[in-house]
Amino acid sequence: METYLGNSDQDNVSDDVALAIMRNTVVNMRRLLADIHDMQARSNLMWDSAMAENGILKCGRLTDFQAHQIEHQLGAYTDCNHGQGLAVIHPAYYRHIVKDAPEKFTRFAKAVFGVDTAQAGVDALENFIKECGLPTKMSQLKSAVEITPEVLRQVADTCNIIKCNPRILSRDEIYEILMECL
């Protein structure tokens, strides 16, 4: 999703492929949640993972990895699991930028979750994260370090801010995003 939200031209084939990979991931995760022994679902998810990270989708574009930057810094101050931290941060981050890229978010919503609006797509993503049994709040991260507003302020103040699409965040907005995750 972070690659999809990156800067690309209007008719970029990478966007189409990214949407197909995201849709296929949702379908196969649901199959796997229903039957952990579904080998076809497992192999499809491995293929999705390979396609998502082999670099093809990133060709010719500036990708939006701000959520990763936020989580990396959260991990530097706590002992939270990287994937779980991303599960918590992504919906809050997307709620902050959804109005900056309404066409892309609407296209994502329709293609991946079959819903009609950009905001409904962000909501569907958050519900899917819950459906997968992943955390959606900082308190669910099981960190040995207490995640307090003060810790989150340090995270925001030291986070690497990258020039990315749809827009650059301020440190105060990163703090707001993190606070929404408490």
Q: How confident is the model at residue 109 (pLDDT cuts 50, 70, 90)?
A: very high
Phi and psi, residue 62, nearest 5°: -95, 120
Other CB atoms within 10 A of residue 176 CB: 16
Q: What is the pLDDT of residue 64?
A: 82
Other CB atoms within 10 A of residue 6 CB: 23
Percent pLDDT > 90 in the chain is 80
Q: How confident is the model at residue 164 (pLDDT cuts 50, 70, 90)?
A: confident
What would the mean pLDDT of 158-169 be, rounded to a whole number? 88
Q: What is the pLDDT of residue 34?
A: 98
In this predicted structure, the answer to whether residue 62 has a pLDDT above a threshold of 80 is no
Q: What is the pLDDT of residue 12?
A: 81
Who's near 13: CB < 8 A, 6+ residues apart? none
Compute CA distances 52 → 18, 59, 102, 112, 116, whole Å: 7, 12, 23, 15, 25
What would the mean pLDDT of 103-122 be, rounded to a whole number? 97
Give the torsion sign (CA, 19, 23, 26, 31): negative
pLDDT tens per residue, range 20-37:
999 999 999 999 999 999
Match domain 13-180 to its CATH number in 1.10.3720.10, 1.10.510.10, 1.10.1060.10, 1.20.1090.10: 1.20.1090.10
Q: How confident is the model at residue 137 (pLDDT cuts 50, 70, 90)?
A: very high
Q: What is the pLDDT of residue 154?
A: 98
Q: What is the pLDDT of residue 29?
A: 98
Least Cα distance to 45 among 56, 57, 33 occurs for 33
**Domain boundaries, given as residue ranges, for the chain:** 13-180
- Residues 88/138, Cβ–Cβ less than 8 Å: yes
DSSP H/E element including 74: helix 66-77
Q: How confident is the model at residue 102 (pLDDT cuts 50, 70, 90)?
A: very high
Q: What is the pLDDT of residue 99?
A: 96
Q: pTM for this one?
A: 0.94
